A and B are shown apart, each in its own frame.
Chain A
Amino acid sequence: MSNLITLQNGIASVAQDDWALVKLPQSQVEVRKQAGKVVLFNLTGEKTVSDEQVANTVIPANGKIIVPLSVFIARHSELANRVAQGEVGIWLATHELLDDLIKNQTDINELPIIAIFVERFADGRIFSLGNLLRMRYGFKNELRAFGDVLRDQLFFLKRSGFTSFVIRADRSAADAIASLKDFSKPYQGAVDEQRPAFQRYNRGA
């Protein structure tokens, strides 16, 4: 049974996944992914993915693939043809920088899918990343959340612009769908509905 929920025209359903996720090889170096970007990049200059990991990443020869952002950037020439065919999406983790994506991919709508990996469900950076991709960078295609994705965060993910959700393997996607409808008339404008309640409804005076 697939654990992928997709939203199409506002209708959610459990769907088959036709994308293959390309993972990075394990690294021996511990990355302080929760430490925040100030600590991660500005103060210590840590790189979160090593050159070795990028080089050793196994990219399947055929089919639709979602590759790590670091691999996408470093091995772009290898992938260029397939990108043109619409066979390549990218994924990044919540501690990675969107700037790196934007700098290296002039038209992000060339990518049929961008996926964001959330290691811990309580990591709310994923919501800002979704919002930025949609509102700032105008990404129009599938935006996917995967990793520690649980039903009680789905409503917020949807409002932040995500349109597909890979529910954590030990939980039921069919059950989780219900939570996409937790609230009917949210107050504030967000990605899915940009106007706040006071713009959408006549609330009288």
Chain B
Amino acid sequence: MYKYDEIDQQIVDERVAQYRDQTRRFLAGELTDDEYRPLRLQNGLYIQRHAPMLRIAVPYGMLSATQLHKLADIASKYDRGYGHFSTRQNLQLNWPKLEDTPDILAELATVQMHAIQTSGNCIRNITTDQFAGVAPDEVIDPRAMAEVMRQWSTFHPEFALLPRKFKIAVSGTQQDRAIVQAHDIGMEFYTDKSGKVAIKVWVGGGLGRTPILGSVIREHLEWQHALTYCEAIIRVYNLHGRRDNAYKARIKILVKALGIDEFRKQVEAEWIHLKDSPNTITEAELARVAKHFEPMPYETLPAQDSSFDAAIASNPAFAAWVKRNVHAHKTAGYRAVTLSLKPHGKAPGDITSAQMHVVADLATQYSFGELRASHEQNLILADVKLNDLFAVWEKARANGLATPNIGLLTDIICCPGGDFCSLANAKSIPIAEAIQIQFDNLDYLHDIGDLELNISGCMNACGHHHVGHIGILGVDKDGSEWYQVTIGGKQGNDASIGTVIGPSFSAEEMPGVVQKLIEVYLKERTDEERFIDTVRRIGVAPFKANVYAKEGASA
């Protein structure tokens, strides 16, 4: 993964000094709340319901074991001994003290980490596929470009105070796993007809209050122009986007108001002037950064391993875990492993300091000292040998990290919700926990199969509910908490936004509602169909009918 040179380190160190002084001035009364807010937000610090929340950047989800050990120590020293992985692949601490945040950032800087632009109206952490570099369907490893873009976007002076937050995702696979269509800018890397790396650029996607999938603004962009083309897009947005209403301030609203064709025309008119300007990426720079992402020093291994095969045959629990949590790898004899942060009945994405140390040790021992966070809020060991899988499983299982539920109903994406977040309309974690308990039967879960259930505590959609096969949104009705249900949302190449099935439900009703949706699926599905396929084939009506059926009637 990318390692800082002196320039990177100096920028992060200077940021700590700058933020320390800003916080000092705030505490001394020299900065008002309003003046300090964008400054602290651009360092990831929110003021929450009970305490501040600090969001630490994990650029495109990559972490070293050393960094995770440090995060564990910080969570113990400054927080309550746990952290929460978010849907932007970042780590959030829920209970730090505002006064301690400069010290926390100083500690992070010692392991080449920071909280720069993890919030605020600026370019946020750039996200990508958690299997970048190892996925068999990968065409281009997007991480070097993601790092080049991270550096470019860090303190970009022109885009320091945009109308609203700005999220970029990059992807280089056949099957999109980075939801590029749900981002302000999505970049899909591919190899063009002449064999060169090119980018398909999407713009104006986003979830939140007004969920919209992005439009293609450019089918073919040479990679050298990635930064200047983004500058053209973001400049048009910066100048023309709405600043009078936070709910209408995202780029998607501007793209919609102008229409994609007019928006494209304006962007291209800007780009004529920016194309080939000094921020054009050079071969040398891409090569320098790409050196940090070269393939690991893999051993030459056979594609099969007899001890692994024997363990699968003799141990059903291990076999179930392999089926769900172990993923194909480019290199023979290796697999990627997802460590589930979704044990049933616990807050999705949460991890204790002790578990962080365990995962870091696993990464050191079995996966070249690196790991990744996924936007589904799990951790990934990307490079594990087949004959190490059993040992990894045993250690993960002993530490509550081996729930065999990846991609299943209980692998719930969930925001912190009303338990922590001051924006939330309703709690989300207790809903996730109740559903996990309702479906706490692994055979049944595996029978239901692939299903993505996403929960957000408010329409800001941090829990990506719009693209969940089942999406749950917390809403406020006259001061009490209710839940609106959508079905048919999906991430990926054929992304879609879910359809609301009808009036909302109380918290107590929610596990039963999900149960009724599943009943319809199990009754209607063909042999090959996943839940989402059945919804797409038969439509929302049968699901709706069963969920809202009067007592006594049934599907």
Chain A residues packing against B (C-beta within 8 Å) = 32, 34-39, 43, 121-125, 127-129, 131, 135-136, 150, 152-153, 155-160, 179, 182-191, 194-199, 201, 203-205
Contacts and interface: CB of A to CB of B under 8 A. Distances in A.
Given A32-B244, A123-B243, A153 B10 contact: no
B242 A34 contact: yes
13 contacts: A32-B244, A36-B163, A36-B254, A37-B239, A39-B244, A122-B121, A124-B121, A128-B235, A155-B155, A156-B161, A160-B158, A196-B278, A205-B291
Given A34-B243, A124-B238, A184-B14, A153 B160 contact: yes
A152 B238 CA distance: 19
A121 B11 CA distance: 24
A54 to B, nearest CB: 24
A131 B11 CA distance: 23
Q: Report the interface size class on chain B.
A: 35 or more
A194 B258 CA distance: 31
Contact of B157 (A34, A129, A159, A204): A159
B537 interface: no
B196 interface: no
Interface string B9-28: 01100110010001000000
A198 B7 CA distance: 10
Contacts, number: 141
Contacts of A36: 163, 240-244, 254
Contacts of B10: 184-185
Given A188-B279, A203-B288, A182 B158 contact: no
Contacts of B536: none
Nearest to B18: A182
Contacts of A153: 160-161
Contacts of A39: 242, 244, 257
B235 A136 contact: no
B35 interface: yes
Contacts of A155: 155, 157
Contact of B14 (A35, A123, A159, A183): A183
Interface in B170-200: none
B487 interface: no
A199 B161 CA distance: 26
A187 B5 CA distance: 12
Contact of A124 (B31, B160, B284, B291): B160
B279 A189 contact: yes
Interface string B99-113: 000000000000000
